[in-house]
Structure 1
């Protein structure tokens, strides 16, 4: 049988004689995508954060989180391939896992990267038709959403992801890509990828029109409104669904509908 060679999104070349059948996914959004591509029966290991679809947690072995994994559990499962992500999983984890089997690493910073990941999975797991269907659906929804937002004025925004220390989304990441798509100008776009900030500098940093408190990775609640809001009195503070802004893969389809409702609330 002819060997198939594919290159992942960090430039690593992988060769397979047959499509991998025993998959471990260490990225929640990519677990959801693999399910949507019809690969549920191939999934043998996931993280404790892989919550969509919910029933997977009761059927598939959990092998840790995204930053801490159980290498022995993974080894015992005898995977053909492990799916990681450059941002979610550390290089040390990837290197250690590479001693067990091939590790496919994605790197998603733009919507184009997302399309490429889906195409890659279609080739890698021999599900090209399903992958193309998903890319077609996403392309249609993206075009529809661009039409929806085209006349919406740009608003300045700060998107909070963490507390103690306070951290926000900066540039060169998927969150910022979706903020730009929504006509939100990130006041921290020139401060690195996920900068730490001081609340008392919010006005000086750009005096945002909107402050978004994400539901993940830190679970912001309404109780945090006052502490943050008093440092940016001109801004409207809103709790947002972090999955919609940071999960790539098939989740993006739901995100476009979510964004439309969000704009209607604003």
Structure 2
């Protein structure tokens, strides 16, 4: 089966499931694993797909995501090839997605083993008293995450109460609005916006009574095999 993955976290999942020979194409944002990033055919960005490159690869299955990819581009591909469109908004849906991809790629037992391993890691994660937090994914404008996102679910499992849990998707916010919510923590993700120490220092001055942390965005937002690493990372964050 010749596969194309249009989703970075799912590309890594396909690698974990042992689909080295089957995966023919990935996006330029599929940075894990590094050897695939260097050697596999890149078919554009997640939202700027090169349809002709994809057509030339003649895939037997394309794996996309409702949020990561552009609806019109996915629809165009569906007219040419079988496309599995995933939709992951929380932890249970992530596990279901892993199982579904395992079934679609003839890796059912490998996917079941991965789901079991992820469940075991999260079962061992002690959830402390929840700390009020805002998680930033972008600046200019400042953007955070609503309660209907996978990131928000991971925040809760990491011990943080999302102060924007009543909002949907990725709301734009102002600093004055965030200050009024009196967060205990501000979490600055490493992706999609690459927050750095300078951003942390600036916000720490604006929020002197708050802990401002740079966090690994992949471990909060990548559903798939990277979830195995999240509980250990969350344990470290809980002590920050």
TM-score by length of 2: 0.97
After TM superposition, give the deviation of residue 115 of structure 1 in Å.
1.2
- Could you say which residue in structure 2 is the equivalent of 1:119? 99
Say yes or no: does 1:211 pair with 2:186.
Answer: yes
Distance 2:130 2:147 in 1: 17
Contact 1:158 1:168 in 2 (8 A): yes
- Could you say which residue in structure 2 is the equivalent of 1:128? 108
Aligned pair partner of 1:237 in 186, 201, 212? 212
Aligned pair partner of 2:27 in 47, 51, 67? 47
Say yes or no: does 1:253 pair with 2:228.
Answer: yes
Distance 1:55 1:193 in 2: 33
Distance 1:100 1:61 in 2: 19
Say yes or no: does 1:201 pair with 2:181.
Answer: no
Unaligned segments of structure 2, at least 5 residues: none
- Could you say which residue in structure 1 is the equivalent of 2:149? 173
* Cα offsets for 1:169-207 (capped at 9, x unmatched): 111010000011122111111122100011122221x11
* Larger displacement relative to structure 2 (45-54 or 187-196): 187-196
SS in 2 for 1:212: strand
- Could you say which residue in structure 2 is the equivalent of 1:187? 163
Distance 1:45 1:67 in 2: 15
User: Based on CA coordinates, which of the two structures has the bigger radius of gyration?
Assistant: 1
After TM superposition, give the deviation of residue 33 of structure 1 in Å.
0.3
Contact 2:4 2:25 in 1 (8 A): yes
After TM superposition, give the deviation of residue 254 of structure 1 in Å.
0.8
Contact 1:200 1:231 in 2 (8 A): no
Distance 2:65 2:84 in 1: 8
Write out the 4+ residue segments of structure 1 that deviate beyond 6 Å after TM superposition. Answer: none
Contact 1:29 1:249 in 2 (8 A): yes
Unaligned segments of structure 1, at least 5 residues: 1-20
Say yes or no: does 1:75 pair with 2:51.
Answer: no
Query: Counterparts in 2 of 1:141-152, with a 5 A limit?
Result: 141-145=121-125, 148-149=126-127, 152=128
Contact 2:130 2:156 in 1 (8 A): no
SS in 2 for 1:167: coil
Contact 2:159 2:238 in 1 (8 A): no
Distance 2:200 2:116 in 1: 39
* Cα offsets for 1:149-178 (capped at 9, x unmatched): 2xx211100100001101011110100000
- Could you say which residue in structure 2 is the equivalent of 1:13? none
Distance 1:186 1:171 in 2: 7
* Cα offsets for 1:87-106 (capped at 9, x unmatched): 10121111011122011011
Distance 1:182 1:189 in 2: 15
Say yes or no: does 1:86 pair with 2:66.
Answer: yes
Question: How big is the alpha-carbon RMSD for the aligned residues of Structure 1 and Structure 2?
Answer: 1.1
